[in-house]
Structure 1
Amino acid sequence: MSEELGLRERKKLQTQRSLWHAAMALFVERGFDDVSVTEIAAAADVSKKTVFNYFPTKEDLVLQPLEERLDEPARIIRERAAGESATAALRRHFLAALAARDVVTGLNDSPAVLDVQRLVRSTPSLTRRAYAFIARSEEHLARELSRQAGQADIAPRVAAAQIIGVRNVLYAENLRRLLDGESADAVYPDAVACAERAFGLLDDGLGEYCVRRE
């Protein structure tokens, strides 16, 4: 039974990837707004219903991987080790993500990733969706900080805004340089230095939220 489940999951993942690649090829060639879901289904040799089974909206075809990481900042803080501050956990995770060229850091120069980045920046509906994701991620983080601090006032929301703001600034700077033609490897040393500096400033500003977890 477990082997059958594993096979079904692999087939689902294969279909999902096939749909994503078909959609992105069309989007890059013609633009997001000029491609229909029907055309994507035809390119992937599936039904339109199948597309919507995997991606509820056309925007999801581009941004669903981002949505799957909505709770990541809150999770990092929630799962940090005893004795580690919130900002130390975030710094550690971000530096590891830079080294891994994780797309959430903006430091991934694979052609497919950069195609997605350009598409999001040039398509208003995708840009709005990306900003909505940032706001929702901040809300998740604020709730987690509030839970840990035992506070329901404005302080956890301010802290969450600062944390997400730092991550976004680092992401945007790394991506800007890649879109200007630099390689991820060339940008990496500066990206690390900027992250260290930014999280240091975050440490200075967050006060009680940098208290180590007992």
Structure 2
Amino acid sequence: MTGLRDIKRQRVHEAISTAAITLFLERGFGEVSVAEIAAAAEVSKPTLFKYFATKEDLVLHRIADHQGEAARVVRRRRPDEGPLDALERHFMAGLDRRDPVTGLNDHAEVLAYHRMVFSTPSLAARLFHHMAMDEEALAGALAEDADDLTASLLAGQVLAVQRVLARRNWLRLAEGETAARLHPEAVRAAAHAFALLRRGLDAA
């Protein structure tokens, strides 16, 4: 059962997060100071840093739930399902539910969020750091059924494919396409990409 202290911490966390993202999207990541965010969230700077170690974390915590997701998908797959099949199924389900991590979400705030991350060097660098950690975690999961080299190579390829697909979807939406119209094409592109990956896996 969640205690009152945990509930309060979660509320403060959300208040800081909401204030930060709102200000960043209104004025730009580099134009907003941590002091302004703390003031908007009605907390002190020391309190803010207890919840978010860096300014970049104020943005990228929004994707924290996806950290290590590919590795979890592989480990939780059905007994009769291969790792790549599970990863493809999970990505396709993400497209269907318009998960922002697939790039196929045309909500204005989601599009603006992606634009901010991709156009801000420090955020992009931190994002790639997260991706490197995801790759290492996925390689660890795949290594349970393959040698270390094969697992590492496949992990890099899978996450690169997902990154390219998501970026492609976001760019199309940023150009004015709608998620509903783009969805069939995004599904076909993902199926094609995973088919190419599967050929490599079969060879391995």
TM-score (norm 2): 0.93
Q: Which residue of 1 aligns with 2:151?
A: 156
Partners in 2 of 1:191 and 1:107 — Cα distance?
A: 8
1:179 is aligned to 2:147:
no
Partners in 2 of 1:179 and 1:200 — Cα distance?
A: 27
Letter in 2 for 1:162: Q
Structure 2 counterpart of 1:191, from 176, 186, 202: 186
Q: Which residue of 1 aligns with 2:89?
A: 92
The answer to whether the Cα contact below 8 Å between 2:15 and 2:41 also exists between their aligned partners in 1 is: yes
Partners in 1 of 2:27 and 2:160 — Cα distance?
A: 33
The within-5 A match list for 1:1-214 is 2=1, 5=3, 7-149=4-146, 151-152=147-148, 154-207=149-202
Q: Give 5+ residue unaligned stretches, structure 2.
A: none
CA deviations 1:84-141 (Å, max 9, x no partner) are 0111101111111111111110111112211211111221100111111112211111
The SS at the match of 1:147 is coil
Structure 1 residue ranges (4+ consecutive) displaced by more than 6 angstroms after TM superposition: none
Letter in 1 for 2:69: E
CA deviations 1:53-94 (Å, max 9, x no partner) are 221111011001323322111110111011101111011111
* Structure having greater relative contact order (Cα 8 Å, sep ≥ 6): 1
Partners in 1 of 2:172 and 2:70 — Cα distance?
A: 24
CA deviations 1:146-170 (Å, max 9, x no partner) are 1332x23x22111111111111111
Per-residue deviation, 1:27: 1.3
Q: Aligned in 2, Cα 1:184/1:8: closer, same or farther, shift over 3 Å? A: farther
TM-score (norm 1): 0.89
State the superposition RMSD in angstroms.
Answer: 1.6
The SS at the match of 1:80 is coil
The answer to whether the Cα contact below 8 Å between 2:140 and 2:151 also exists between their aligned partners in 1 is: yes
Letter in 2 for 1:99: D
